[in-house]
Amino acid sequence: MGMPEEQLGEELIKEESAPRASSRGRLVARRFLRTKQGVTGLIVLALLFVLAFAGPALTDWSYTDKDFMSFLQPPSARHWFGTSQTGQDIYAVTLRGMQKSLIIGLLVAIISTAVAAIVGSFAGYFLGWTDRMLMWVVDLLLVLPSFLIIAIMSPLFRGGNWPLFVLMLAAFMWMVTSRIMRSMTISIKEREFIAAARFMGVSAPKIIFRHVIPNLASLLIVDATINVSAAILTETSLSYFGFGVQPPDVSLGTLIADGTRSATTAPWTFFFATGLLIITVLAVNLVGDGLRDAFDPTARRPGKARS
Amino acid sequence: MSIAAGRAPVLEVSDLNVTFGSGTDAVRAVRGVDYSIAPGEVLGIVGESGSGKSVTSLAVMGLLPDDARVSGSVRLHGQELIGRRDKEMTRLRGKAISMVFQDPLSALTPVYTVGDQIAEAVRIHQDVSRDKAARRAVELLDLVGIPSPEQRARAFPHEFSGGMRQRAMIAMAIANDPDVIICDEPTTALDVTIQAQVLEVLKTAQTETGAGIVMITHDLGVVAGFVDRVLVMYAGRPVEKGLVDDVYYRPRMPYTMGLLGSIPRLDTGDREPLVPIEGNPPSMSALPPGCPFEPRCPLSIPECEAGEPPLIPVPGEGHSAACIRTQTIENRGLTPRDVFKAGPAGAVARGDRAGRPTVLMVDRLVKHYPLMKGAVFKRRVGTVHAVDGVSFDIREGETLGLVGESGSGKTTTLMEILRLAPPQSGRVVVLGRDTAKLGRNDRMAIRRDMQVVFQDPLASLDPRLTVQDILAEPLTTHGLEVGSRVRELLGLVGLDASFASRYPQEFSGGQRQRIGIARALALEPRLIVLDEPVSALDVSIQAGVINLLESLKIRLGLSYLFVAHDLAVVRHIAERVAVMYLGWIAEIGAVRDVYDTPAHPYTQSLLSAIPLPDPRKERERRRILLEGDLPSPADPPRGCRFHTRCPKFKSLPEAQRALCVDQEPELRPLGGDQAAACHYAERLEVV
């Protein structure tokens, strides 16, 4: 759906330079960059990624190392975030955990929202058999005990097999949103611009991707941002019980789980992990707000983006 | 008409101002409105959307929200109303002043019966027993012409049709014998035949109560025969007022002239061009310092920008106009047609009708919907006969107007044609291809040649796409080069090429409809289906769009299927017209024949129900009023579908009636290009 628009935009730039008409992708990007909260969120998120992936290079300690000279020490010049009960460097461990959590959170959110959007809009647009089959799957997944299934499958996640974990988390997160999408699609389907596209000869999948989903974008974006936090928190709680990210790998979840035991006596063991988790979720929410305003031409805040 | 003269006014409004918000965002919705009404007098307040006419009446009723600042004076029987507390106003509202709203469904509470609601209105202001109030409610329902009022009083609002709800609202408004009744667009949401009924009821209500009526409307036709005096508003100000004949026959403000010139009229000769007013009304938060109409006025001179002209008296009793050029208009005897540039004259398709190829043929088309009941186990309880054997054809370069009231099946017919799928029964042949035998690729090819323009220009444009993307969509869908076509298309419909990068929300209604038309033209179609393309627009804007459609048709050799409920608009744009009633065609033929000498009793009453913007003609006209509402299409009457409401049927002797009840009439040619589905068709002049 993005491609033809981009090409179209390119063509226009080439052909007519004087009153340049913007295609949607361009316009949304420009409007997004005008939203203060969106840009702030994006910068913070970018910094978090830089910190998570480039940060470990700044210290000599690796997340697998153990310093047998210092157990449960507060932050110092030697160990920036302090050390844990087993002598791990909290800085290195936290950043390692953040790498996993960021990737898991964002991937799960994107996958589950995309699945929800596609399943919901197809079911709502076609109705009939498509709808019945898809909604049957939705109902089935809704009644399955997701926690239990992931717990049983947890041995499979060992040995760097975390993408499977991501898929499992995403698989149990999209159903409610897809039901909302379905009912909203049914109502938006009655609008005249959908009829106009249909009578023009636009194919059904194209109508869904070009007209239905963008018009429900605000719901999807809000859903995706909530899903990022929900995914990170689910991962955290699964990891707390030992069913999520498997050792020797760590995530913010396992760290918080470890840290809670000594939270009152040695707050640094979990303070940094929690703080970074909060900042991440906040930044994602800000980006979501900005995107929602940029997508919605009726929103006042970002001002009128014109060429 | 001059009953008002010499009597003390009941309601006096002077220098009324209403402002919303403050600072630079302040919207001055009403600026200096003056009027007074004597008992038994009817004042029409006319203006387009956003002219401040409704805000004026809400200010009089004291119903504006708290953030509105109201100044000036409103006196009822000499007592000042502005500045009174809400509690005091509540005692007056509904008793001394009452109001009839536009949308009767939202004005009635859905969970109480209509009788209870009217009785409640009585009991609020009068100390009467419950039984007596209920009896009074039945009396009132009887007065406004609701059949079997005892039973209908126990019905809920959703069981009433639109016209009956509006009657119930009028019953409520007159329940306490008010001195002033304010009617805010009381007939806008109703069909013409129902509108004629409701206007009759309002006349009855007035004679019954002797109240002064303020009639707010955008339709100059509705008020022509009904009001004594007219006040024309523009940009929150009265720009012309006077006796109805003075304003209609001797308008002195160019805006009034423009409004009168832009109304499509039923009584003027065939397809005369309309005179649109260029441009759009000004934004109320950033008014120009001069006359607010100056940017759109063809008579403007540099002095017009200097300051806002006050209402100055012009010849005629109480006639005044806010224009510094009234003298010029007076001296030169200018008419709307002189002042405003008229559009192109209607083009009559070249050559013999029979010789031109057929672009669309519909033959005995049927569309029935099953009526289902039950939540878990759905079962069929009936059939909605939405379209029941409709036949017509359109030749190249021709416009067919398909008219009918809501529920007549015209939109269903249209959708059946546009679907390009095999119909339930009958045939649809588009550009020589039968839709029942179309393959995938054929259907795509026909989609290219047949385009559609919808009623609501905002709903038919995807709000998330820019104009560029909207206009490029048909091109990319059919694998065509976009290139500079979007700019061409915008130019074709009279819009600026720089509009391409904006969203549809940033445009006014008329501009949006032009975008919709540009999209329909993108693929250079041969047939365009127009579904009520102008009914959502103000008259002055509407005229521009009609003229655009007309000139595009001539330039590009298009054929139109024009669906509308407004017969006057159809007279201006169509060569042929088909009148639909309850899923079937009552009459079809050349516009000239059908409008001048309609033969079907339904067409006759439909035409006679349409008000003319001509006070003298309107007062002398004899209306053929239809009784009751459109029967449900789930249970259409046997025989002739119209016989339940037919005025002709009632006048027939018993022996001849049997034919109407037993046998469904076929469309019979009546000579010339005219055919009517009536056993006793007889041509009659009604306009």
Tell me the pLDDT tens digit for each residue of B355-398. Answer: 888 999 999 999 888 877 766 677 777 888 888 889 999 998 89
Q: Cβ separation of A8 and B469 shorter than 8 Å? A: yes
Give me the pLDDT at residue B350, please: 55
Give me the pLDDT at residue A24, please: 65
Cβ atoms of residues B269 and B348 within 8 Å: no
Of B402, B430, B424, B429, the residue nearest B567 (C-alpha): B402
B23 secondary structure, DSSP code: G
Q: Mind listing the domains of chain B with CATH numbers?
A: 11-234 (3.40.50.300), 237-339 (no CATH), 354-574 (3.40.50.300), 589-676 (no CATH)
Locus of tokens 């655009």: B548
Cα B454 to Cα B111, B395, B412: the distances in Å are 35, 22, 13
Q: Cβ separation of A192 and B456 shorter than 8 Å? A: yes
Q: Cβ separation of B487 and A16 shorter than 8 Å? A: yes
pLDDT bin (cut points 50, 70, 90) of residue B344 is low
Q: Which value does ipTM take for this structure?
A: 0.76
Cα A85 to Cα A74, A250, B181: the distances in Å are 11, 16, 84
| Residue-wise pLDDT tens digits, B256-312 | 888 888 888 887 765 567 778 887 788 777 777 888 888 888 888 888 888 888 888
| Residue-wise pLDDT tens digits, B63-101 | 888 888 888 999 988 888 888 888 888 888 888 888 888
Q: Cβ separation of B466 and A27 shorter than 8 Å? A: yes
Closest CA of chain A from B503, distance in Å: 7
Give me the pLDDT at residue A4, please: 41
Please give the Cα distance from B465 to B469 (Å, whole number): 6
Which range has the worst mean pLDDT, B471-475, B568-572, B623-627? B623-627
Q: Cβ separation of B459 and A304 shorter than 8 Å? A: no
Closest CA of chain B from A127, distance in Å: 17
Token pair recorded at residue B230: 């007219």
Residues of chain B with Cβ-Cβ distance to A204 below 8 Å are none
Mutate to test the interface with A, among B446, B447, B462, B478 (most CBs of A within 10 A): B462
Q: Cβ separation of B459 and A15 shorter than 8 Å? A: no
Count Cβ atoms within 10 A of the Cβ of residue B8 and give its class: 0-12 exposed, 13-18 middle, 19 or more buried: exposed
Please give the Cα distance from B25 to B517 (Å, whole number): 34
> Which residues have CB under 8 Å from A60's CB, separation 6+?
none
Of A171, A102, A165, A168, the residue nearest A140 (C-alpha): A171
Say what the pTM is: 0.80
Residues of chain B with Cβ-Cβ distance to A26 below 8 Å are none
Cβ atoms of residues B642 and B253 within 8 Å: no
Cβ atoms of residues A48 and A98 within 8 Å: yes
| Residue-wise pLDDT tens digits, B610-638 | 888 888 888 888 888 887 778 888 888 88
DSSP string, A171-190: HTTSHHHHHHHHHHHHHHHT
Q: Cβ separation of A215 and B462 shorter than 8 Å? A: yes
Mutate to test the interface with B, among A1, A12, A26, A198 (most CBs of B within 10 A): A12
Residues of chain A with Cβ-Cβ distance to B478 below 8 Å are 201
Q: Which residues of B touch A (CB under 8 A)?
A: 418, 443-444, 447-448, 451-452, 454-456, 459-469, 472-474, 476-478, 482-484, 486-487, 497-498, 500-503, 505-506, 516, 519
- CB-nearest to B447 from A8, A15, A201 is A201
**Three-state SS annotation for B577-642:** EEEEECCEEEEEEEHHHHHHCCCCHHHHHHHHHCCCCCHHHHHHCCCCCCCCCCCCCCCCCCCCCC
Q: Residue B528: is its pLDDT beyond 90?
A: yes
Q: Cβ separation of B487 and A297 shorter than 8 Å? A: no
| pLDDT, chain B, mean | 85
Locus of tokens 């006196």: B75
- CB-nearest to B478 from A15, A201, A304 is A201
Q: Cβ separation of A202 and B444 shorter than 8 Å? A: no
Q: Cβ separation of B498 and A5 shorter than 8 Å? A: no
Inter-chain CB pairs, A–B, below 8 Å: 104
Q: Which residues of A touch B (CB under 8 A)?
A: 4-5, 8, 11-12, 15-16, 19-24, 27, 191-193, 195-197, 199-202, 206, 210-211, 214-215, 217, 295-298, 304, 306-307
Measured between its terminal Cα atoms, the distance across chain B in Å is 23
Locus of tokens 């439909």: B606
Could you tell me which residue, A249 or B128, shows the higher pLDDT? B128
Gyration radius of chain A's alpha carbons: 23
Residue ranges of alpha helices (H) inside B479-585 are: 485-492, 509-521, 539-556, 567-573
- Going residue by residue through chain A, which has 307 residues, state the pLDDT in tens, using 9 for 90 and above: 333 433 433 333 333 333 344 556 677 788 888 888 889 989 998 998 888 888 777 777 777 777 777 776 777 777 777 777 777 777 888 888 888 888 888 899 999 999 999 999 999 999 889 999 999 999 999 998 888 888 888 888 777 778 888 898 899 889 989 999 999 999 888 888 998 898 888 889 999 998 999 888 888 888 888 888 788 878 877 877 778 777 677 777 778 777 777 777 777 777 888 888 888 888 888 888 888 888 776 655 444 333 3
Give me the pLDDT at residue A302, please: 40
Token pair recorded at residue A4: 């033809």
Token pair recorded at residue B528: 């365009």
Closest CA of chain B from A20, distance in Å: 8
